[in-house]
Structure 1
Amino acid sequence: MTQNKEGGERIQKVLAQAGVASRRHAEQLIIEGRVRVNGVRISELGCKVSIEDHIEVDGKPIKRSEKLHYYLLNKPVGVITSAHDPQGRPTVIDYMKGVPVRVYPVGRLDYDTSGALVLTNDGELAHRLMHPSYGVEKTYRVWVRSPVSLNALELLRRGVLLEDGNTAPAIVERLSGVSQTSGKSKENNLEVLEVTIHEGRNRQVRRMFAAVGYPVVKLERIRFGSLSQGYSLPTGAYRALTKEEIKELRSKVGL
């Protein structure tokens, strides 16, 4: 292990770059004593390693020269945003058949929320995309019952008081038309809105609408940063990001 502060990289960053886990999860692996360097169990987050060091997680060596992969999945409802579910429910990884490496979801979409989800083995990018300081925008299409009042719209736009504090201001727009994909549905009295936020709190959009008196009936993320799954990507399908898309994502978070 490298002792010189000028050499080597922090172990959690190396684990993230190798696609083992996000940097935050990598830190937890270290704290739990599941990481060994040159056969020695480590528990210090500040530990630095060099290219010559042999790193194992749960007894398995990591591959540090793995090629980085980036994908966009149109996540279905009823799927867990995780690499594994103890209850045996389907996960987003089940939909990534044919991907040659282990990839991990960037952030989470609720079990009952569909839409755009990025998966990658680029741990550093994943860490930054999820960190609130980088302000990566996410846009959701939201279905609610009955027209939303002007007062509720203003509250959503200014910020809503939740149990974990006020939300940041959001961009909230009504959609025009009368179909299930835009506007108000006359058949079942649903109104559809688009909401853009840059925070990543647990079930945030659902909690925001519930707080102003309009529980969400259906929720779909239609855009993550500059990426839109569009309706050309069928539910449950994925595609590789283009070089331009990867470059734009990395540029957004200073990489």
Structure 2
Amino acid sequence: MSSHQIERVQKIIANRGYVSRRKAEKLISEHRVKVNGEVVQDLGTKVSVDAQIMVDNHLVEPAAQKYYFIFYKPRNVVSTMYDPKHRKTIADYFKAVPTRVYPVGRLDYDVSGLILVTNDGEMANFVMHPRYEFIKTYQALVNGKTSKQTVNQLLKGVTIDDDNYFTKALTARIVNYNPDKNESIIELSIAEGRKHHVKKMLAAAEIDLKKLMRTKIENIELDQLKPGEYRSLTPYEVRSFYGTYKAVRRKTDS
């Protein structure tokens, strides 16, 4: 990488896979970051991408290798690398990986399914940014027999949250109905990500949710993974996903 290229300090820290950009900004605000021996005072500070950066006097070095994983998060696992309540976290499943990795975004404690785990700070920051919309697909196990009219309501749109935010599913369909258990499975996809977004949409459509699972992000699927398992993304999946988000960035930046 050329030493003539300059970036904001928090972006370089994130790109080196140390912490997310938001966490890096917090570290800078707390005056815990030094560049070439000088404490960084301003979030707008730009430096060479190969500058010496230290956090709490520990060197922040670029990750030698980028890792990209699909993880099937089980229910009742916290989608962070540390939990002050000492519940099971994603970190418990990635002890064999020889570098610090972290989840891209969050899945609720009681929601299972696909979450990306990486040490690529640039991609993680981009995917988590609320400005950029990635298509995420979910399957909901719900009580009762769901009607087509109810599913169509998700497509037409519902209002959620105290600010009456209007939102609609990109796709929604009934996958299955089990008459013995009187349960339905609904599949829906969204390109937004407010807190508890899908749960609130289902509640607004008066759908009685039992369990929720994320099955897909853009072109990346769980495939044959079981809860608690992970696999590396293939080079094709990484290229394809990068292509998706660069296209999204061009569209939103224009």
Q: Same fold (TM over 0.5)?
A: yes
Please name the residue that 2:233 is paired with: 241
Cα distance in 1 for partners of 2:119, 2:14 equals 8
Does the 8 Å CA contact 1:132/1:198 hold for their aligned counterparts? no
Letter in 2 for 1:210: A
Does the 8 Å CA contact 1:13/1:23 hold for their aligned counterparts? yes
Please name the residue that 1:207 is paired with: 200
* Alpha-carbon offset, residue 51 of structure 1: 4.4
* Alpha-carbon offset, residue 76 of structure 1: 0.5
Match of 2:182 among 176, 183, 189: 189
Does the 8 Å CA contact 1:170/1:196 hold for their aligned counterparts? yes
* Alpha-carbon offset, residue 40 of structure 1: 2.9
Does the 8 Å CA contact 2:169/2:189 hold for their aligned counterparts? no
* Alpha-carbon offset, residue 172 of structure 1: 0.6
Please name the residue that 1:88 is paired with: 86
CA offsets 1:19-58 (integer angstroms, 9 cap, x no match): 1122233223322333222333324221112245321223
* Alpha-carbon offset, residue 213 of structure 1: 1.2
Does the 8 Å CA contact 2:172/2:188 hold for their aligned counterparts? yes
Cα distance in 1 for partners of 2:18, 2:97 equals 15
* Alpha-carbon offset, residue 250 of structure 1: 0.5
* 1:114-153 to 2 correspondences below 5 Å: 114-153=112-151
SS in 2 for 1:254: helix
Letter in 1 for 2:37: G
Cα distance in 2 for partners of 1:118, 1:245 equals 12
Match of 1:251 among 229, 232, 243: 243
Please name the residue that 1:11 is paired with: 9
Please name the residue that 2:216 is paired with: 223
Match of 2:111 among 106, 110, 113: 113
SS in 2 for 1:152: helix
Cα distance in 2 for partners of 1:33, 1:189 equals 57
Cα distance in 2 for partners of 1:28, 1:171 equals 38
Letter in 2 for 1:162: I
Does the 8 Å CA contact 1:158/1:170 hold for their aligned counterparts? no
SS in 1 for 2:216: strand
Does the 8 Å CA contact 2:5/2:49 hold for their aligned counterparts? no
* RMSD (Å), alpha carbons: 1.8
Cα distance in 2 for partners of 1:36, 1:130 equals 26
Percent identical residues: 38
Letter in 1 for 2:204: A
SS in 2 for 1:78: coil
Match of 1:39 among 33, 37, 47: 37
Post-superposition, which runs of at least 4 consecutive aligned residues in structure 1 deviate over 6 A? none
Cα distance in 2 for partners of 1:40, 1:86 equals 32
CA offsets 1:163-209 (integer angstroms, 9 cap, x no match): 1411244311111xxxxxxx112232111010101111111111111
Cα distance in 2 for partners of 1:245, 1:124 equals 17
Structure 1 alignment gaps of length 5 or more: 1-5, 176-182
Letter in 1 for 2:187: E
Structure 2 alignment gaps of length 5 or more: 248-254
* Alpha-carbon offset, residue 234 of structure 1: 1.5
35-44 or 119-128, larger mean C-alpha shift? 35-44
Letter in 1 for 2:17: G
Cα distance in 2 for partners of 1:52, 1:124 equals 15
Letter in 2 for 1:239: R
* 1:44-63 to 2 correspondences below 5 Å: 44-63=42-61
Does the 8 Å CA contact 1:206/1:215 hold for their aligned counterparts? no
SS in 2 for 1:87: coil
Cα distance in 2 for partners of 1:139, 1:91 equals 23
SS in 2 for 1:184: strand
* Alpha-carbon offset, residue 130 of structure 1: 2.2
How has the CA–CA distance of structure 1 residues 7 and 234 changed in structure 2, closer, same or farther, with 3 Å as cutoff? closer
